[in-house]
Amino acid sequence: MQMGEVHLPGVDLYMVNDPALVRRMLSGQPDQFPKSPLLADALRPLLGDSILTTNGDQWQRQREMMNPAFAQAKLDVAFPVMRAAADDLVERLTEAAQRGSELNIEVELTHVTADIIYRTIFSEPLSGDDAHKVFDAFARFQALAPKLMLPSMYGVRWLVWPWNVWQSRRAASDIRRLLEKLIRSRHEAWLRGDDLGKNDILSALMTSRDRKTGEPFSFDELVDQVAVLFLAGHETSASALTWAVYLLSAVPEVQERVHQETCRVFGQRTPEQRDMKALVLTRNVFRETLRLFPPVGFMARESAQTCPMRDKMVPKGASVMISPWLIHRHRERWSDPDAFNPDRFDDDASRESIRQSYLPFGMGPRVCLGAAFALQEATLILASLIRAFRLETVTGHTPMPVGRLTIRSDNGVRLRIFKREDQ
């Protein structure tokens, strides 16, 4: 199916799977298809009016003011932070691995990705207690988000239970409280002229100025933008890494090939950034995971005016959905689409599929600017894990993917972990 539609009282919903239409929406005519207000409504308690949810001039202003922050996420600047967090992850898991313990790897991978973006934003590590608080709060917020979005999408907002709204706001408040505590002390020091010498994202955001007015971000705007960087900078990577580790556990022969690659590239020394290019298979494992389990399974847009799409006339105000999950598994566009096959990314036969039908980071002006950051982070973490440990699935446990803000497992991802001797 290239395009589907659902019509209910008060709502028109279209699902677009045609790559040409997807490029038109995201790259050719992005102003014609702005971010859906459904997304903003669901995320506002956590993200406020931030770059992830705004449109038009407001989004353009925020995007320009955030450009300096992305300089602090350059791959060479971020690599030592990533390596330190990956080393801490291996250290945390070593005791469990020596016992061959069973654990929910989702929690650990959420911790390490949150730790990396936390260090990149604030120049300090995320403590264990705070990491679990963040994981629990994000899990609660994610579970509630669809319950808030879906009734709005189908024109029945009255089905949203006040209890769910309250719980969602409470989870968002827990996350923002942690961020506000760190931002406030730094912001007050910056206003006094004392926040000097920090080479991180928060400093870049505080010193950024509106091109037209010369004004900096207000405190509330800082919290909004840091919240979106924190969410986008760790949640999507944690989702994809969790599925990558599960797939490697389920396919031992690929896991062993990754282990051999890490031993060949690293030897007995500490990983360096220059090593990342040599980890071809490890990187392809992550790219294939992004195909099978794209963190953002659905992108919601709104048609700004009535327009034709294929044989349909899409009315102004209609919700138009793009699903990387469906496009990445479309049988007309991929060979053996449901199979985990990292080698397809080195196969010339897959080149056209990858070019036309692969969009884990979106495309166009709102493409994920952290794509290279995420790819380097994931390659290093996977290499560090598989170099140090052998992972096995747990008999009787099959993770159940569900679409929340990202694609997560409804029942966790439980694995058994064993320390390797040949590392």
* Phi, psi torsion values for 160, nearest 5 degrees: -75, 120
Weakest mean pLDDT among 101-110, 226-235, 343-352 = 226-235
3-419: which CATH number, 3.90.550.10, 1.10.630.10, 3.40.630.180, 1.10.620.20? 1.10.630.10
Please give the residue that has the higher pLDDT: either 141 or 320.
Answer: 320
User: Does residue 245 surpass a pLDDT of 90?
Assistant: yes
**pLDDT tens by residue, 150-173:** 555 555 554 455 656 667 788 888
**pLDDT tens by residue, 19-78:** 999 999 999 999 999 998 877 777 788 888 888 889 999 999 998 888 877 776 678 888
Question: Amino acid identity of 275?
Answer: D
User: Does residue 397 surpass a pLDDT of 50?
Assistant: yes
pLDDT band at 101 (very low <50, low <70, confident <90, very high): confident
* Paired tokens of 70: 């992305």
State the pLDDT at residue 345: 97
Per-position DSSP letters for 104-127, written without gaps between them: EHHHHHHHHHHHHHHHHHHSSPPP
**pLDDT tens by residue, 183-232:** 898 899 888 887 666 778 898 899 899 988 999 999 999 999 998 888 88
Nearest to 120 by CA among 181, 57, 75, 176: 75
Question: Amino acid identity of 254?
Answer: V
**pLDDT tens by residue, 249-274:** 999 999 999 999 999 999 989 999 99
Domains of the chain, by residue range, sit at: 3-419
Beta strand pairing status for 102-104 and 307-309? Answer: unpaired
Rounded distance, CA 70 to CA 361, Å?
16
Residue with tokens 């389990």: 293
State the pLDDT at residue 421: 79
Helices (H) and strands (E) in the chain, counts: 14, 11
- Are the C-beta atoms of residues 111 and 139 closer than 8 Å to each other? no
